[in-house]
Structure 1
Amino acid sequence: MWAMSESIAAVVVRAAELTARGMPRQAIELLQPALAVNPLHGEAWCRLAAAHLDAGEPDPALTAAKRALVLDGDPAWAQRLTALALSELGRHPEAVVAARECVRRKPRDWRCQVVLAEVLADSPGGQREAVEVAREAAHLAPAEARPFQVLGDSALRVRDWGTAERAYRTALRLDPADDDVRANLATVRRKRGGAPVPPPSGEALHAAHVLAWPVLSRLAALLVAGGLVLLLGGMPKPTPLLGWFAGLLVVACLVVGGLPLAKARGGVRRALLRLPLHRPKVAVVTTMFALSAVILAGWAVALLLGATTMQPLVIAWLCALVGGAVVVLAGGR
């Protein structure tokens, strides 16, 4: 029995080599007699199912994968093969169920996430979720090219050209010899060049506005109150120590201003970046606050270098005052 196990293990290795070289039919012919002698070898059934899938034969692949499911071995691999075979047969709901079970068994296995993304991309209504699942797979395996390829394929289906291009570029960096990825990347770049960027939806803009306005209110308080304190502290003549306080105020504004981007996800984050184009009051406030922060930063550096002027601080405070007035008068509408 030990010699037989060793023999079929060698057959499995040889079959894997044949499949990797693009000869799945030879791998099938090698595995079938070995399994007739030792039908309880789960890994061999998985390898047979994989070879059938590569040969474009989902029916026998599903049969072999189901045999592997009830035997000792790697159940997650058998579950992945089952999901892929069901998807090839057009049984998409069953394929999604099998792939989700695989992820449930091994949530940190990037290969399970990849298969779930693949079957979701082929199932009606699952294409958006496929992008997020593929993104998780890429997060779990940042050194593997396959998750990024699947992420690119999934993003391509929903016309998310930016995500698709970034994913394909990463996949090519990890595996420069993949001609399919290279061709898909060229397709994405061609389509992206002629595709206008769609405007954010009304719901995304509203969510972005709700997220951004309280932050603008806090920035108004910081810049107006902080600027007033600096004005009082700088009389009659500012010192380099005041420059450090001005620098800290600018850093605090950057931290507070970055909170919405850190909290936002997906479409809301994109809407945040484009919110000033669609909300004039937001555009005025952000412009005034940005000018105030930039002038404050320059004034802080000048103080540290020995300057003693107060004029930049006055201008920065007036910009903050204008932005703060818009925040107060608009009231978040």
Structure 2
Amino acid sequence: MAISLYKPFDTLNFSKQQCFLTGEKLTSTEEEISVFPVWLMQEYELHDQPFKLLDESMSTYKDMKLPCSNLTYANGIEPLEDEIRAAFLKGYDAVIEVPQTKLFQWIGKMIYGILFNEIRIGIRQQKAYNEEFVFSQSLIHKFSNLHIMLQSMIIPVEFDGNLPWTICVFKIESEQDLFNYRDEINTLTFSLGMKDFGIVACLQDNGANALYHKEILEKIGQKALHPIQFEEICGKFFYSNYLFNRLPEYTIMPTADTIYIEPMPLRGMSNKPLFDMWQNKVYGQVLENFWKPWGLILFEIIKDPDNPLSFLLDQEGNLKAPASVELPSN
């Protein structure tokens, strides 16, 4: 008999009485976990920090919860958190040794946790107006695939062919240990900066964004980046994943002992490029947001519309060393 998968998006069932990962009925309201790991909140005193949701309402990091059975926590979540915590607190050299699947599970669990809370708010708001909760079919498709892949935390899953995601880890050279978290739920894009490393992830692109940015990624390699350079690379990925115009499909084959997941070709029947046209003005707006700590405004960023401001590359296209980065004077 094949392993069965839990599919909450088939019925849009996001009850807090069921485990988010297995669907099993919970016996207590205390069977829940924090969306953001407790160790991470403790490390950066995030518990009471505000967290803005899509409807512009505010929550706090500590109030974002996921219903989770004790068994799921013990067998899947806790071992993963222990491994990630040990690596992340050591820094870049340890993080690059963490298997990509583990990084995906850890990032994906947080993204799904935020999504779970967003959906419940949406359902509650629509119910207040006696309206049915409407969900885009393309988003259901994307989020359902994410949830299926996350079940690799508790059941054997083999990812055949290309991995379904792009996850890049960068070394950051900074005098301060700054925590910087970002996500874009609809495109499943994520970035995190802490200690001496940064991560940027596109959770369902089959590696397309890594290919799109292949040239700059090869120039960076394992070289250290200044924080403003890391934010620039994040801006590139967030924008390119917004331009990514495919809805990835996967062959999902459950067997008696393993679930096999294989990406289908992204091009499909279309000759259209995988990414829509890059527009420097829009990219500049993205960078303006990412560079807020340095006070840069759009006018400065796209002063030359054909060559937006860059702290990553010099005029010859070579990677700038962190020490040579000239920060704007506020």
TM above 0.5: no
Q: Which has the higher contact order (CA 8 A, sep 6+)?
A: 2
Structure showing the higher helix proportion among its residues: 1
State the TM-score, normalized to the length of structure 2. 0.26
State the TM-score, normalized to the length of structure 1. 0.26
Which of these two proteins has the greater Rg computed from alpha carbons?
1
